[in-house]
Amino acid sequence: MDKFIRHTGVGVPLRYSNVDTDQIIPAVYLKRVSRTGFEDALFSAWRHDESFVLNHPSYRSGSVLVAGPDFGTGSSREHAVWALKDYGFKAVLSARFADIFRGNSGKQGLLTGELDQDDIERIWQVLEDAPGTEVTVDLEQREVRCAEIVAPMQVDDYTRWRLMEGLDDIGLTMRHIDEIADFEASRPSHKPRTLA
Amino acid sequence: MGKTLAEKVWDAHVVRRAEGAPDLLYIDLHLVHEVTSPQAFEGLRLAGRQVRRPDLTLATEDHNTPTLDIDKPIADLTSRTQIDTLRRNCEDFGIRLHPLGDTEQGIVHVVGPQLGLTQPGMTVVCGDSHTSTHGAFGALAFGIGTSEVEHVLATQTLPLRPFKTMAINVEGKLRPGTTSKDIILAVIAKIGTGGGQGYVLEYRGEAIRSLSMEARMTICNMSIEAGARAGMIAPDETTFEYVQGRPHAPKGKEWDAALEYWKSLRTDDDAEFDTEVTIDAEELEPYVTWGTNPGQGLPLSSAVPDPASFAGEAERAAAERALEYMDLRPGTPLREITVDTVFIGSCTNGRIEDLRAAAEIVKGRRKADDVRVLVVPGSDRVRLQAESEGLDKIFTEFGAEWRFAGCSMCLGMNPDQLSPGERSASTSNRNFEGRQGKGGRTHLVSPLVAAATGVRGTLSSPADLDPTPLPSRDHEH
Ligand code: SF4
């Protein structure tokens, strides 16, 4: 996993709240068995609409998505994160994220930064007034900068550490394999097994 | 201070706890299906890793599988590829799989409990958000993403941060015609789709205690629609009775040991929840959703709300958008909304009791002319049970289509979909835009409301129906 320290890229204002994972990537795309190539699927229903923000040439190369509250609700599909990443997004900013989506993002190196809704609104204003404006997401400083705005960003310590180190979860857990084996040795025997 | 049920189960599974890091939690049961697993297995192969505990893992095919002509090759190529990939992965990694056509095949959340693999006090995960269903047994059960699926396959653990706890007290008794689906729709309407964020919900109170296991599963199933990771109900006699005798239930001495432990799985009297919410079951009516998220629900006797009546601007905008998508006008009585399709099924309401309840309503009646009614059992066992009780006949005489088991129109990954603009009354759990097919419009309802809606063609409850045209069930012909 690549390390994430800070990133600067075109900000995309997505003025919707409650963007659920069915909107981020509809279920029909979940049939694929590969891990990459989902960029065409991102927001596919909305992209048919010419006025949709990503269809605006100045936003097309966006890499920082600035969304309304409760982003990523609904299904646990990790494809939502792959689609955002494959499209080129490095970070999503919102006042509130759905838990599973946030967890999935952290694992894939997509930063989910929590900002006050007031700051989100100010950034939206800048991005809409001057499409193509860049946003800097600074994980080290835990802040977002856009034009004159400097907004504090919340990311929990552990996720921040892992993203900045670029560490993979399974590798981390494998360091404790003996403890897992000890735990298994004392599991009650009445717990069910799927194989005989 | 005492502990809540969720805390007890959590603490019993901590493999490792370290300052500043998430707890490493042991996973007792990992359920797998074709949609969220291929990339996890691909990850294992790329890293040269094995599945640590195939004996705590179970796979079934459900999301993509057709509900007609199941003996023919799956027509849709990508669906077939996903199924084939799962079969190959299970074979390569030694995982038990119940494929299409197998008696134990079905929706993963119906299959686990039915086999007795879901038991009190367990940790259960699956790459599917409705894993919360299993919490009805007093298990800590939650959905995970594909990276986590890979993590559990490789290590049988997950690094997790503790959840907050919320008590949902459902006091009083449900009135006839209302069901556990109405309870959960009312809960979500009350706390909102984000209200449960970061919480494990524990459903308590008289109304919950008097529910059957299957009805409890319906409630826990939809905890995720309130934003919660998991929902739980403390195990009691109803739970023990349900588990006992199932293929994977403990037997003999093991049963006694298990039972003793299970009985300790209740929130201590002096435990404190981070939040408490109370709902009066006696006041509940059948609930239906009018919008495009499960929190946009109202009693069936109400009218489509006016967006202007919502307090916050975001809520107002969301309501406006929802009404536009749903093609509804404020003030229209919900009972006057005409539907094209009735879907009875899913991991929320595709169990035998759901089918019995719906069959009871439609028995001896004919469906409304322009309505398509689709009945899809949650598992093949449910289908067989229903057929042995003659429910399939009742449904087909009613004019409904009787199908093979699977997720079906809950999410429309197989051919069972709404066409653009079509409207459904659905016993499933999500009414998101396009969930049941592109441009489709979904009203979430209980099986009773679904059945009554099939009869009248507009959103209805059994109380809206004329008395049955045929003699009651004692005088079957
Ligand atoms: S029935 Fe619906 S909600 Fe349940 S597992 Fe299948 S797709 Fe998911």
In contact, B124 and B118? CB cutoff 8 Å: yes
The encoded tokens of residue B299 equal 């009693």
CB neighbour list of residue B292: distance below 8 Å, 6 or more residues apart: B321, B322, B325, B326, B431, B432, B433
B196 inside 8 A of chain A by CB: no
In B257-416, at which residue ranges do the beta strands (DSSP E only) sit? 275-280, 287-289, 297-299, 341-344, 372-375, 401-402
Q: Which of B407, B429, B442 to mutate to test the pocket of ligand 1 (most atoms within 8 A of CB)?
A: B407
The H-or-E segment that residue B29 falls in is strand B29-32
Q: Which of B110, B129, B218, B347 to mutate to test the pocket of ligand 1 (most atoms within 8 A of CB)?
A: B347
Distance between Cα B268 and ligand 1 center (Å): 33
Interface touch B147/A17, C-beta < 8 Å: no
DSSP B175: P
pLDDT, tens digit, 9 for 90 and up, residues B175-233: 999 999 999 999 999 999 999 999 999 999 999 999 999 999 999 999 999 999 999 99
B49 inside 8 A of chain A by CB: yes
The whole-angstrom separation of Cα A63 and Cα A7 is 9
Q: Is B30 helix (H, G, I), strand (E, B) or coil?
A: strand
Mean pLDDT of A163-179: 90
B12 inside 8 A of chain A by CB: no
CA B94 to chain centre: 28
Interface touch A172/B56, C-beta < 8 Å: no
* A174: closest chain B residue by CA: B155
Pairing of the two strands B164-171 and B401-402? unpaired
Ligand 1 within 6 A of B429 CB?
yes
Cβ neighbours, 10 Å, residue A121: 15
- Edge-to-edge, what's the strand order for the sheet holding A64-67? A111-114, A91-94, A64-67, A6-14, A134-138, A143-146, A149-152
The whole-angstrom separation of Cα B376 and Cα B405 is 6
Going by C-alpha positions, the residue among B282, B343, B338, B348 that lies closest to residue B460 is B338
Distance between Cα B112 and ligand 1 center (Å): 14
Confidence category of residue B470, pLDDT binned at 50, 70, 90: low
Residue B378 clears pLDDT 90, i.e. is over it: yes
The whole-angstrom separation of Cα B136 and Cα B110 is 12
Task: Give contacts of B 401-430 with A, CB under 8 A.
Answer: 411-413, 430
CA distance A34 to chain B (A): 6
CA angle B124, B347, A78 (to 5 degrees): 60
Ligand 1 within 6 A of B323 CB?
no
Please state which architecture CATH assigns to domain B301-464.
2-Layer Sandwich (3.30)
> Choosing among A16, A99, A165, A179, which should be mutated to test the B contact, i.e. which has the most B CBs within 10 A?
A99
Could you tell me the CA-to-CA distances from B50 to A74, B35, B107 in Å, in that order? 31, 20, 26
Model pTM score: 0.86
pLDDT, tens digit, 9 for 90 and up, residues B107-118: 999 999 999 999
Confidence category of residue B380, pLDDT binned at 50, 70, 90: very high
Ligand 1 within 6 A of B232 CB?
no
Give A-chain residues touching B58 at CB under 8 angstroms: 194
Residue with tokens 């959840």: B163
Pairing of the two strands A143-146 and A149-152? antiparallel
How many residues are present in chain B?
477
Say if B5-276 and B301-464 have the same CATH topology: yes
Domain presence at residue A84? yes
* A162: closest chain B residue by CA: B21
Amino acid B213 reads M
The shares of helix, strand and coil residues in chain A, as percent rounded to the nearest 5, are 40, 20, 40
Q: Which residue ranges make up each domain of chain B?
A: 5-276, 301-464
Query: What is the predicted pLDDT for the residue at B472?
Result: 47
First CA to last CA distance, chain A: 38
Q: Which CATH class is domain B5-276?
A: alpha beta
Query: What is the predicted pLDDT for the residue at B176?
Result: 93
Give B-chain residues touching A162 at CB under 8 angstroms: none
Q: In this complex, which of B81, B258, B318 lies closest to A190 when CB atoms are compared?
A: B258
In contact, A76 and A104? CB cutoff 8 Å: yes
The encoded tokens of residue B162 equal 């503790």
Domain presence at residue A21? yes
Ligand 1 within 6 A of B407 CB?
yes
In contact, A92 and A79? CB cutoff 8 Å: no
pLDDT, tens digit, 9 for 90 and up, residues B292-326: 999 999 999 999 999 999 988 888 999 999 999 99
The whole-angstrom separation of Cα B470 and Cα B477 is 10
Residue A108 clears pLDDT 90, i.e. is over it: no
Confidence category of residue B469, pLDDT binned at 50, 70, 90: low
Domain presence at residue A16? yes
Mean pLDDT of B100-108: 96
Q: Please tell me which residue, B204 or A175, carries the higher pLDDT value.
A: B204
Could you tell me the CA-to-CA distances from B114 to A153, B359, B452 in Å, in that order? 45, 21, 28
In contact, B262 and B234? CB cutoff 8 Å: no
A170 inside 8 A of chain B by CB: yes
Interface touch A76/B433, C-beta < 8 Å: no
Cβ neighbours, 10 Å, residue A5: 12
Ligand 1 within 6 A of B347 CB?
yes
Amino acid B129 reads S
Q: In this complex, which of A31, A76, A81 lies closest to B128 when CB atoms are compared?
A: A76
Q: Is A55 helix (H, G, I), strand (E, B) or coil?
A: helix
Query: What is the predicted pLDDT for the residue at A66?
Result: 98
What are the φ/ψ torsions at residue A55 (nearest 5 degrees)?
-85, -5
- Edge-to-edge, what's the strand order for the sheet holding B230-232? B230-232, B199-204, B164-171, B275-280
CATH value at residue A111: 3.20.19.10
In A53-169, at which residue ranges do the beta strands (DSSP E only) sit? 64-67, 91-94, 111-114, 134-138, 143-146, 149-152
Confidence category of residue B413, pLDDT binned at 50, 70, 90: confident
B126 is in an annotated binding site: no
Distance between Cα B63 and ligand 1 center (Å): 7
The H-or-E segment that residue A177 falls in is helix A177-185
B325 inside 8 A of chain A by CB: no
Query: What is the predicted pLDDT for the residue at B302?
Result: 97
Going by C-alpha positions, the residue among B115, B149, B125, B121 that lies closest to residue B136 is B121
Q: How many domains does chain A have?
A: 1
Pairing of the two strands B57-60 and B96-98? parallel
The whole-angstrom separation of Cα A32 and Cα B80 is 10
The encoded tokens of residue A157 equal 């310590």
Domain presence at residue A77? yes
Mean pLDDT of B87-93: 97
Atom of ligand 1 nearest to the CA of B411: 7
Cβ neighbours, 10 Å, residue B375: 33
Give B-chain residues touching A69 at CB under 8 angstroms: 194, 314
Ligand 1 within 6 A of B376 CB?
no
Domain presence at residue A157? yes
Pairing of the two strands B275-280 and B230-232? unpaired
Interface touch B81/A78, C-beta < 8 Å: no
Q: Please tell me which residue, B43 or B280, carries the higher pLDDT value.
A: B280
Mean pLDDT of B18-28: 93
CA distance B63 to chain A (A): 10
Give B200's strand partners: B165, B230
Query: What is the predicted pLDDT for the residue at B468?
Result: 66
Confidence category of residue B476, pLDDT binned at 50, 70, 90: very low
Minimum mean pLDDT range among A26-35, B29-38, B153-162, B289-298: A26-35
Could you tell me the CA-to-CA distances from B162 to A100, A167, B21 in Å, in that order? 14, 21, 11
Query: What is the predicted pLDDT for the residue at A33?
Result: 82
Mean pLDDT of A46-63: 95
The encoded tokens of residue A134 equal 């860049």
Distance between Cα B130 and ligand 1 center (Å): 7
In B205-253, at which residue ranges do the beta strands (DSSP E only) sit? 230-232
Minimum mean pLDDT range among B4-8, B55-59, B73-77, B446-450: B73-77
Distance between Cα A147 and ligand 1 center (Å): 44
DSSP A74: S
Interface touch A33/B42, C-beta < 8 Å: yes
Task: Give contacts of A 116-155 with B, CB under 8 A.
Answer: none
Q: In this complex, which of B21, B58, B82 lies closest to A158 when CB atoms are compared?
A: B21
User: Alpha-carbon Rg of chain B, whole angstroms?
Assistant: 22
Ligand 1 within 6 A of B217 CB?
no
Domain presence at residue A150? yes
Give A-chain residues touching B94 at CB under 8 angstroms: 195
Atom of ligand 1 nearest to the CA of B62: 6
Q: Which range of residues forms the domain containing residue A137?
A: 6-167
The whole-angstrom separation of Cα A95 and Cα A18 is 11
pLDDT averaged over every residue in chain A? 93
Residue B16 clears pLDDT 60, i.e. is over it: yes
Task: Give contacts of A 38-57 with B, CB under 8 A.
Answer: 45
B410 is in an annotated binding site: yes
DSSP A109: T
Query: What is the predicted pLDDT for the residue at B129?
Result: 92
Cβ neighbours, 10 Å, residue B196: 29
B90 is in an annotated binding site: no
Interface touch B39/A68, C-beta < 8 Å: no
Query: What is the predicted pLDDT for the residue at B57?
Result: 98
The encoded tokens of residue B243 equal 């588990």
